[in-house]
Structure 1
Amino acid sequence: MVIGGVEPIDGVKPGGTFDVPVTVENKGNGAAGKVWVSYGVTRGLDFAEVPSNCRVQHVRSYDEMPERWIAACAFDQAVEPGVVYTPEKPIRVKVLDRALNEELLVRVGDVDPGVDENGFPPVAGTAPAVKLVEGQAGGGATARVVNVPVTAVNTADYQVTGAALKGSVGDTVTMKATFTNAGPAWVQPRPGDRSVSVVITPPAGTSVVKRGQFCRAEGKRYVCGMRSLNEGSGETYTFELKIDKRVAGAKGSVALSTEPRPFDPDKANDKADITLDVTGGGSTGGSTGSSSNGSTGSTGGSTGSSTNGSTGGATNGSGGSAGGSSSTGGAGTTTGGDLAETGSSALAITGVAAAAVVTGAGALLIVRRRRAQSPS
């Protein structure tokens, strides 16, 4: 059994609908007594109406699969070899407000495809049942499974916010920067798309005692990923910064990396400041950047170096989503100018990995203290 007639769909608009014409052909030598045709759509789409000989299941996002709906239709009739069939009425799909980069997957077989154990219980359709009717020969049926893109005319607004910090020299202050997809569309990166990152540059005169989750060090900057690109989702990156010295006019930033985002025309909220108001003067630590307070695990001095330096990189995947999306990107990372470009989607770290980085840094400090206390 093979299926055809399914072509990429472009230019649909939220609130609209489109039909999915398919052809079914039996390439075998004998007749099939029953045929199943399944339609799967990602979370920006849904089925406008479902015939009663079909069942619909809502499946959560898991592994690398996005949230989706699956309609499995049973045609209890003989399908003769060499004959092209088509449903007498094509299934209709509606375009939701959050649609942007969607997928339509259609498959055919002569056995029940079953249900996805990660989904909700399926429900039967309520529209009149349909059957297969003979169509024109040469329908182009070639495969058991066809997966095509569906592109909607829509936008998604990526936004970042900075922070206003205040403290005295020697203080450790909390900095919270955020990323939000304000919608209305969710974003599912397509194969070959480079994943977007958030680049955080702390103000001069500070050192990072603790970095935010899903962030890795790249020189003096931190490149951070996000767990979800669903509409309305976001990420908060919480850093602990030690104020090592007063630097006149010191200012950091939070910015989106520079990958193309044609769906996001508003660039005004792609960058925000991290301001620092230092009370008092002077600096902590010596010129070599030795620690002024070993218990903090941070380094001071004019170098303002961080215990979470480039040796403790973190990785993040976009994938998943509460209904999250899985992202794919190219290899390698480059930085330049005020922003960092990263083609890698590997930005996520697990809690265990993060704990390992912190534990390692603590162990290094203990060793150094013991050596310092040993008799010469």
Structure 2
Amino acid sequence: MPRPPHSRRASGAAVAAAGLIVMAAAPAAFGDEAVPQMVVGGVEPVSGLRPGDTFDLPVTVANKGTVTARTAWVSYSVTRGLDLVDVPSNCRVQHVRSYDEMPEYWTATCAYDQAVEPGVVLTPEKPLRVEALDRAYHDRLRLRVGYGDAPSDDENGEPSVPGTAPAVKLVEGPAGGAGSAKYVHVPVTTVNTADYRVTGAALSGRAGDTVTMKVRFANAGPAWLLEEGEVPGVHVLIKLPAGTSVVKRDYYCHDKGGTYNCPAHLGMNMPEDAQMEYTFKLRIDKRIAGARGSIALSPERRSFDPDKANDKADITLDVTGGGSAGSTGGSSGGSSGGSTGGSAGGSSSTGGDDSNGGELADTGSSALPLTGVAAAAVAMGAGALLAMRRGRGRNPS
């Protein structure tokens, strides 16, 4: 349920002029029937927030058509780094979990049982308040406006519940404050950091043994990351110890000239405290003194991640005894050779040869298409992404 407003206001938040995305309003008439033309405005991009800061949304509602709207509604949606605070009882709040490649978000849809005349600019008598949570960094605010019945719940979300603050109505807004679009997307940025890190592995066995290697990527927070704009996507690069060959590779990892390229997510967002595990089965072909591999993050600049010490880790190999084992089709030095499609998150695949997703390794690209990754996620299940989330967020129900 919505919480009382935070006591600290965003006094240091700077409102930027760039970054606002609008979509043109619907035409004033469909065929020969004139209809209201509702537009929303009054909100600009917000930056310079700190976790715990709050800010108000001075939304305006206007009717640029020639016909009176008998009722109106405004919908506010925020991504998971933001919180809708002190929501009025004439609004319904819904939590929508992440699905496909969409990030998790919360929506408050406020209905107003009052007419909006053509040319009139109105605004809620008390603006809705938003709080930047501890996990905030780059977030999105989406505004929509319309007339008639309010939109129904998103079928991918939980049932909506009414707000708990007193109901509000629309009152006369600022002169000249009418917006120009039915939809507005507003970026909201918070000063914060996240820590992307990798964990290596220590392997041991005799020549001829097959061993299981599990290495990990994690976002240790505190911020969650929506990978768009200034937040680049990241990949995990795995080099296997010399003297080994791949019996079974991780399903999501593909050989790029001796280095395995693995996605660090299964969508466009990485929640705080989420991690992904990559599992390989390796054959120890022979003992090579000092042989070691590595797991490392791809080299994109990540200004949100100041700690670079954990961006790379060793994969060590301790071979007991001596000599070498005969080849079984894989090549030494960690190349794929005759490898088959492996497992994600430690769950093995069935019949996983390179025809089941493995063809992506031959594209020559160092990045996996998101559509391919999402399809693989559907095929393999959600076991690869272990969502270990501190303070995952309020469930409004």
TM-score (norm 2): 0.75
Structure 1 residue aligned with 2:209: 171
Offset at residue 305 of structure 1 (A): 5.4
Q: Which residue type is aligned with residue 154 of structure 2?
A: D
Q: Distance in 2 between matches of 1:153 and 1:23?
A: 28
Consecutive unaligned residues of structure 2, counting only runs of 5 or more, are 1-37, 342-352, 381-397
Distance change in 2, residues 1:68/1:302 (3 Å): closer
Structure 1 segment 238-277 matched on structure 2, within 5 A: 238-277=279-318
The Cα shift of 1:95 comes to 1.3
Question: Per the alignment, do residues 332 and 184 of structure 1 end up closer, same or farther by CA in structure 2, a change over 3 Å counting?
Answer: farther
**Shift of the alpha carbon at 1:63?**
2.2
Distance in 1, matches of 2:309 and 2:197, equals 9
| Aligned counterpart in structure 1 of residue 94 of structure 2, from 57, 61, 67 | 57
C-alpha distance in 1 between matches for 2:139 and 2:86: 19
State how 1:1-376 maps to structure 2 within 5 Å.
Answer: 1-111=38-148, 112-191=150-229, 193-225=231-263, 226-227=265-266, 229-285=270-326, 291-292=327-328, 298-299=329-330, 306-308=337-339, 312=354, 314=358, 333-334=365-366, 342=367, 345=370, 348=373, 350=376
TM-score normalised to structure 1 length: 0.80
Partner Cα distance (1:350, 1:343) in 2: 11
Q: Tell me the distance in 1 between the aligned counterparts of 2:87 and 2:333.
A: 68
Checking the alignment, whether the CA contact within 8 Å between 2:236 and 2:296 is kept in structure 1 is: yes
Give the drift of 1:178.
Answer: 0.6
- Superposed CA deviations along residues 218-237 of structure 1, whole A, max 9, x for unmatched, are 12111111236111110111
Query: Are the aligned partners of 1:244 and 1:304 in contact in 2 as well (CA < 8 Å)?
Result: no
Match of 1:370 in 2: none
Contact 1:88 1:131 in 2 (8 A): yes
How many Å apart are 1:352 and its aligned residue?
8.8
AA at the equivalent of 2:208:
G
Structure 1 pair 218/346, CA: closer, same or farther in 2 (3 Å)? farther
Separation in 1 of the partners of 2:377 and 2:97? 23
Residues 142 and 284 of structure 1, relative CA distance in 2, 3 Å threshold: same
RMSD after superposition = 2.6
Contact 2:241 2:334 in 1 (8 A): no
Matched-pair contact (CA < 8 Å) for 1:8–1:150: yes
Aligned residue type for 1:3: V
- Deviation, structure 1 residue 306: 2.4
CA distance in 2, matches of 1:272, 1:303: 16
Report the CA distance between 1:332 and its aligned residue.
7.7
Q: Which amino acid aligns with 2:248?
A: K
CA contact (8 A) 2:195 2:307 kept: yes
Structure 1, residues 336-356: CA drift from partner, whole Å, max 9, x if none? xxxxxx4854663637978xx
Return closer, same or farther for 1:351/1:282 CA change in 2, 3 Å cut-off.
farther
Deviations 1:66-102 (A, max 9, x none): 1111101111111110111111111001111111111
Deviation readout 1:290-312 (Å, 9 max, x if unpaired)? x44xxxxx435689652238994
Alpha-carbon offset, residue 189 of structure 1: 0.8
1:332–1:343 CA contact under 8 A, matched in 2: no
Number of residue equivalences: 323
Give 1 or 2 for the bigger CA radius of gyration: 1
CA distance in 1, matches of 2:147, 2:308: 51
Unpaired segments ≥5 residues, structure 1: 286-290, 293-297, 317-330, 335-341, 355-376
Change (3 A) 1:304 1:117: closer
Question: In the alignment, is the contact (CA less than 8 A) between 1:219 and 1:309 conserved in 2?
Answer: no
Change (3 A) 1:347 1:159: farther
Change (3 A) 1:13 1:31: same
In 2, Cα distance between equivalents of 1:6 and 1:280? 70
Taking the aligned partners of 2:49 and 2:137, their CA distance within structure 1 comes to 9
SS in 2 for 1:350: helix
Asked if structure 1 preserves the Cα contact closer than 8 Å seen for 2:39 and 2:178, the reply is no
User: What residue in structure 2 maps to residue 368 of structure 1?
Assistant: none
State the alpha-carbon separation in 2 of the partners of residues 309 and 139 from structure 1.
Answer: 61
Distance in 2 (CA, whole Å) between partners of 1:119 and 1:197 is 30
Contact in 2 for aligned 1:283/1:301 (Cα 8 Å): no
Cα gap change, 1:101/1:332 in structure 2, threshold over 3 Å: closer, same or farther? Answer: farther
Q: Distance in 2 between matches of 1:234 and 1:315?
A: 26
